[in-house]
Chain A
Amino acid sequence: MDSTSLKAWIPGGKKPWDQARAAHLLRRTGFAPTISEVRQALLDGPGKTIDKLIDTTIDSQRHDELDEIGRGIAARQDIEALRGWWLMRMRYTTRPLHARLALMWHNHFATSNAKIGSPPMMLTQLRSIEKYAAGQFFDLLLAMSKDPAMIVWLDGALNLKGRPNENYARELFELFSLGAGNYTEKDIQESARAFTGWSQKNSVYRFRQREHDEGEKIILGTRGNLNGTDVCSIASKHPACARFIASRLLHEFVTPAPEDQLVQNLADELAKSDMNIAESLRTLLKSEAFFHASAYRARIKSPIEYVLGMARSLDLDVPAQLLASVTVQMSQSVFEPPSVKGWDGHRAWINSTTMLVRLNAAQHAAEMVQKPEDFFATPLSADGTSDIRSFGDLLLDGRVPAPLVQRLKALDTSKAAQAHQAINLLLTSPEYQMA
C-alpha cells in the first residue's frame, strides 16, 4: 500500500473490505452512514459501492418537488429557512457524494448572502453548482463567472471598459483556479479587462457589449482579443489549476495534509481527463491512497458532517431550523461563508466555542435517541469489537479506544438514562470528531 498511489486498492489478507473501511468510504462520500448502508456496502464491495455513489442519477420527481419547496422559501427572502432546506436535503439525500461535492464547491466559490441579500440568487447559484459539480471544471468555472450572485459578490457589474474593477479577476486566479504565486498582477489587470461587460440584470446574467473592452490582452502568455470565456479556458488548462483542484479534492476526501506526490498524481489524472471531476474522483476513491491507514480518521469533521452524521447514524428527526442554527453556532453558515476564501476547515473548525457547541449538541442528540438500551443489547467486548448493532460499532467502527470501553462498561446500558449517557460519551469522544 502506497499513501500516494492512485493504483486501485485490492482488498485482501490483513486489509480486508471490512466495516471500518466501508464506514471510512461512506463517511468521506456522505454524512456518516446508517447501519443498513454499511451492510449494503459490505455486500457490494468497494468498486460497486463507489460506482453507485458516483453514478446514481437524480430522482427527478423528488428533485422537482424539493426544488419547488426551495424556490418557495427563497421567494420569501428567508435565508435561515433556505439554509435549513439545504441541510435537510443533505440529511435525506439519495446522492450523498453529489451533495458533498456541491458543499465543497460552495466553499470553493464562496459567495455570501451577507452581501448579495437575495436568497433566490443564492439558490440559483447553488443549482448551477449542483449542475456542474461532477463535470468538467471549465464548465463550472464559466458558470460561476456568469453567475448573478457571483457578479454581485465580486463587483462584476462595476467592471467596465476603461474602468476595470479587479475584484473578480484576482479571486478567479487566487482562489478559484490557480492559487497564489502562479500569475502576475499584470495577468489580473488584463483579465479584469477581459471580463468587462459581464454583468447581471434582474438576477440574470447579461453581457453588456458596449462596456466590454475589445482591445488586445496578454493573459498567462496567451495574446489576443480575449474575453471571460477565454480566461476560464486558459486558467482551467493551466498546470497549476490541475494541482490546485487536486489539492482541494484531496483535502475534502482524503487527508488534511496530502503529500506533494499525491497532489501531482491526482493533478495528472485531472489533466488526462480534461479536468473531469467525477472520473478523477472515481480513480481517487478506489485508490490505495484513499484506503491507506494514514487517511483513516485523519480529517476533523466539519460541523455539517458532525451534525448530519449524528442525525443519520442515530436516525434522528431534527427540525430544519435546528440543523441550521446548530451548524451556524459551530461556525459553518452555509450561504454565508466568512469570506471569499470560504472556511479553512480541519483544525480551524475547532475552538473553545465551537467545541462547546459540539459537546452540547452531542448531549442533546444522545437524549433524542428512543429506546437507547436496545442498541446496547450486545455488550462491547474488551477489544471493542462486537455486533454492528452496538453504538460503539456504529459510531466508532468497532474501534472504541480502550479507556472508553472501560468507561462504557461502568454504565448499566440496560437503563435508558445510562444508555443515553453512554451514547453521549461516544459522540463527545475525540475519535468521533474525526472523519
Chain B
Amino acid sequence: MSTTRRTFLGQGLGAATLMASGATLPGFLSRTALATLPSNDETILVVIQLTGGNDGINTVIPYADDLYHKARPTLGIAPNRVLKLNDQLGLHPDMEGFQSLHDQGMLSVVMNVGYPNPDRSHFKSMDIWHSATLDKNARATGWLGRLADEQSRAGAPPFAMQLDDQTFPLALRSDHAAVPSVRDVRSFHLNGKADQIRKVIQDKRQNATQDLLFVQRAAVESCNNAKRIESAQASQRVVRGKYPAFGLANKLSQISDLIAAGFGTRVYYTSLGGFDTHARQVLRHGSLLRELSESVNAFYADLAQQGLAKRVLVLTFSEFGRRVKENGSRGTDHGAAAPMFVIGPASQAGIIGKSPDLGNLVEGDVPFQTDFRGVYSDVLQNWLKTDPEKVLGRSFKTTRVVGKT
C-alpha cells in the first residue's frame, strides 16, 4: 500500500477529536441571568427572508380570477382547496398555520409589493431589498445595518443579530455597529483560555489595514458574544412551546429562547430557502409554505405562553415573485411584485391592497402597487419607533400595517 493510500484510508472515524467542537450544551436561557441588562418591554422585529423568489401568486391566490387558472394550467390551485381570506384571495392549502394566525387577527397580507423597474436577477434584486435603495452605487450597507448603527450603544447587547446558517445578509451590514451572526445559540462557546485570547486579540496594532481592523473587531465581538450567550445559559426556563421538526422552527425557537432570556436584541434575521421553483414546483412549494406557516404559528404559540407575543412582529419578504404564466417545466420563472406578510398581535389583520390585476401585467409579471420601503417605513416608525428617513434616506408612502401598538 502506498503512503498516499495509507494517509487517506488511515483516517478512521475513531480519530475524530473535534477540532472546532462547540460542544453542544443543552440548557435554556434564563431571564435571571441577564437581570442586569435593560430588561424591557421593548418591541422586537423578526425578519424571515424567503430565499429564491417566492411564487406570490400561488401563496396568496387570486382564486376567483379566471386569468389565474388560465395562466396556471398545471400549477393552478382549485378554488375549493384554497384557504379563503375573502371572496377574491386565499392562502395556499398548505398554509393552515397562517390561516389560524389570520383567524386570530394576527396576519396581515400586503399585496403587490415591489419597486420600480424590477430586476430579475436573484442577487441584484436581493441587494435592492436589503439595501433599500435602487442606486447600485449606494449598497454598502443594509437597512437594518444602518438602523443598528443608529441605535447601538457601547457595551449593550447587539441591537441586531442574524440567527441562521446562511451567508451574512447585506440587510444587516452596518457601517460601525457590530451585528453578529449566530448559527446556533446552544453551541456558541469559546474554548480554552477565553479571557487571555480576547486580550491578545484586542492589543492595538500599528499601521493596520482596514481589513485587519475588521477581522480584529469581529474576533473581539465574537469573544464578547460568546461570553454574553454563555452567561445567559441556565435551565430556568420552565415553559417551552412545542415546535414542529423544521429548520425554520428550530431557528425561531432559538430566537424565542433569547427573547425569553431578555437578551436585549431588537432585530433578529433568519431565512427559509428553496423558493427558486423553475421546475416541478408542486413538489417543493407546498412543503416550503407549510414549513413557513407552521413554524411561525408555533413561534407565536410559544411566545404567547410566556406573555411575550405582543412584543414581537414578524416580517417576511422574498427578492421577487414569479412569472404569472407557468413555464414549460411545470415551474415558474423570475417575476416581480408579490405579497409580504406582517405577523403579530400588532399587525393590522387582513388584506392590504388589491388582488393582482392579471389583465394588466408588465412583461408577464405583476406590477408593484406598494413600494417595499413603505412597509419598512411603517415598521421603523410605528414598531421600532425610529425615524424612517434616517434609515431609508428619504420618505416613502408609509403603509398602515402596524396598527395596534
- Same complex for A and B? Answer yes
B205→A403 contact, CB < 8 A:
yes
Given contacts A165-B327, A166-B333, contact A421 B193 (CB under 8 A): yes
B19 to chain A: which residues have CB within 8 Å? 307, 318, 322, 326, 360-361, 364-365
B206 to chain A: which residues have CB within 8 Å? 401-402
B20 to chain A: which residues have CB within 8 Å? 325-326, 329-330, 357, 360-361, 364
Nearest chain B CB to A20 CB, angstrom units: 15
B54 to chain A: which residues have CB within 8 Å? none
* Chain B binding surface SS class: loop
Stretch at the interface among A95-103, A229-237, A344-352, A387-395: A344-352
Stretch at the interface among B42-50, B118-126, B300-308: B118-126
Given contacts A69-B5, A430-B219, contact A155 B201 (CB under 8 A): no
Given contacts A158-B328, A166-B333, A359-B190, contact A322 B201 (CB under 8 A): no
A338→B121 contact, CB < 8 A:
no
Of A165, A363, A424, which one neighbours B278 at CB under 8 angstroms? A165
A350 to chain B: which residues have CB within 8 Å? 214-215, 218
A425 to chain B: which residues have CB within 8 Å? 197, 200
B222→A359 contact, CB < 8 A:
yes
Contact with B along A150-189 (1 / 0, CB 8 A): 0000010010101111110010001000001000010000
B41 at the interface (CB under 8 A from A): no
A431 to chain B: which residues have CB within 8 Å? 212
Given contacts A163-B328, A185-B120, A352-B221, contact A65 B4 (CB under 8 A): yes
| Cα A163 to Cα B205 with chains together (Å) | 60
| Cα A62 to Cα B191 with chains together (Å) | 39
> How many chain A residues have a CB neighbour from B under 8 Å?
75
Select from chain A the residue with minimum beta-carbon distance to B52.
Answer: A339
| Cα A119 to Cα B57 with chains together (Å) | 35
B74 at the interface (CB under 8 A from A): no
B215→A165 contact, CB < 8 A:
no
A352→B11 contact, CB < 8 A:
no
A356→B120 contact, CB < 8 A:
no
A357→B22 contact, CB < 8 A:
yes
Nearest chain A CB to B74 CB, angstrom units: 12
Within 8 A of B (CB), among A118-168: 155, 158, 160, 162-167
A416 at the interface (CB under 8 A from B): no
A155 to chain B: which residues have CB within 8 Å? 278-279, 329, 331
| Cα A322 to Cα B4 with chains together (Å) | 18
| Cα A341 to Cα B7 with chains together (Å) | 34
Stretch at the interface among B83-91, B179-187, B390-398: B179-187
Contact with B along A258-295 (1 / 0, CB 8 A): 00000000000000000000000000000000000000
Contact with A along B210-251 (1 / 0, CB 8 A): 011011101101110110000000000000000000000000
Given contacts A353-B183, A353-B188, A360-B22, contact A158 B212 (CB under 8 A): no
A377 at the interface (CB under 8 A from B): no
Contact with B along A398-417 (1 / 0, CB 8 A): 00011110010000000000
Nearest chain A CB to B159 CB, angstrom units: 14
Given contacts A339-B122, A434-B211, contact A165 B167 (CB under 8 A): no
B283 at the interface (CB under 8 A from A): no
Q: List 26 A-B contacts (CB under 8 A).
A: A62-B4, A92-B7, A155-B278, A165-B279, A167-B333, A174-B123, A180-B124, A256-B211, A298-B209, A317-B7, A322-B16, A326-B19, A338-B166, A339-B122, A341-B123, A350-B214, A351-B181, A351-B218, A353-B222, A355-B222, A360-B19, A360-B21, A425-B200, A430-B208, A430-B215, A430-B216
Q: Which 6 A-B pairs have the closest CB atoms?
A: A163-B328, A351-B181, A352-B180, A158-B329, A403-B203, A355-B222
* Extra A-B contacts (4), CB below 8 Å, given A158-B279, A165-B333, A403-B200: A350-B218, A356-B22, A364-B18, A404-B200
